[in-house]
Amino acid sequence: MDFRAIIMGVAFALMWASAFTTTRIIVTAAPPLLALVIRFALSAGVAIALAFALGQSWRLSRAEWRAVILFGICQNVLYLGLNWVAMQWVEASAAAIIASMMPLLVAVMGWALMGDRLKPMAVAGLVIGMVGVAIIMGVRLQHGLNIPGTILCLIGAVALAAATLSARGAGGSPNMMMIVGLQMAVGAVVLVVPALALEWGEPVQWSARLLWTFAYTAIVPGILATWIWFQLVHRVGAVRAATYHFLSPFFGVTIAALMLGERFGFTDVAGALIIAAGILMVQLARLPAPDQASKSRAQSIAGRD
């Protein structure tokens, strides 16, 4: 068992889940797209400065530039942009649960777009996982879940899955912090025009809570979690890394309940466990057979000799 990968995965899931609550605080006090552009600009500036301090270069390979652009657009512009707008009306806990679909979407997109094989257990896991999402969202719809906002979150989850697959080309780079900063810069550049066009002049409810929340969001989920994510994808692969998103609904709902007083009912627990079972089945189906794994390790050792 790779304990380092486990620690990285749990740390990423906690940081990533906390962003749902901090985002909810920000978008109820400030225009979401303008706030997101400022967050991206700050995160990009800090990350690029750190990269230069570490001796890293912006001269990236073609695969790395492709990952920067795809990740910047899919995660930052589409996933975060749509979620920040949606979370003006959608609870942080609901957004976290929708995002937990991402590992299942990664498996589907890997099969459809990259030729990854899906065994019967994986297909069954996908179905079970979707049932868990349906259970949770069905009950929340009865409690007034905003449908347009939910649709935006669903589209964002698909974009996040695409971003996860695009990260395959960037893992292990000696310029990893530079890549993190540049993909944040992509998000800021692409979103600045729609943000100014749609939200210029909208009021901001300034407070100490807004300022510290914004600073936390820019540094922890913005820079640190993204850097850990790239490292994790390189270490265990996109599909295995996506499994750690399963933890985010539990972390996300708990943090939202503690800080925002949001509900967390029995159906949320049951649905999350069903989603977890589906994700586990998908992951187990994708594990190599023992003899194949041994052969792969032997080839890896031989290659190092």
Q: What is the pLDDT of residue 298?
A: 35
Rounded-to-integer distance, Cα 280 and Cα 286, Å: 10
Please state the pTM of the whole predicted model: 0.81
Share of the chain above pLDDT 70, in %: 89
Rounded-to-integer distance, Cα 57 and Cα 248, Å: 33
Q: Is residue 278's pLDDT more than 80?
A: yes
Q: Is residue 98's pLDDT more than 60?
A: yes
Name the region of 264 (left: φ>0; alpha: ψ -120 to 50; beta: rest): beta
What pLDDT, in 10s, does the model give residues 187-201? 999 999 999 999 988
Helix runs in 143-224, H state only: 147-166, 176-199, 208-219
C-alpha to C-alpha distances, 49 to 57, 82, 178, nearest whole angstrom: 11, 28, 8
Q: What is the mean pLDDT of the chain?
A: 83
Q: What is the pLDDT of residue 120?
A: 87
Residue 137 has which token pair? 């969202």
Q: Are 242 and 11 in contact (CB under 8 A)?
A: no
Hey, what amino acid is at 258? L
Rounded-to-integer distance, Cα 76 and Cα 179, Å: 13
User: Measured at the alpha carbon of residue 157, what is the angle toward residues 134 and 7, in degrees to the nearest 5?
Assistant: 100
What pLDDT, in 10s, does the model give residues 119-175? 888 889 888 988 888 888 888 887 788 899 999 999 999 988 887 776 655 556 788
Burial of 155 (0-12, 13-18, 19+ CB in 10 A): middle
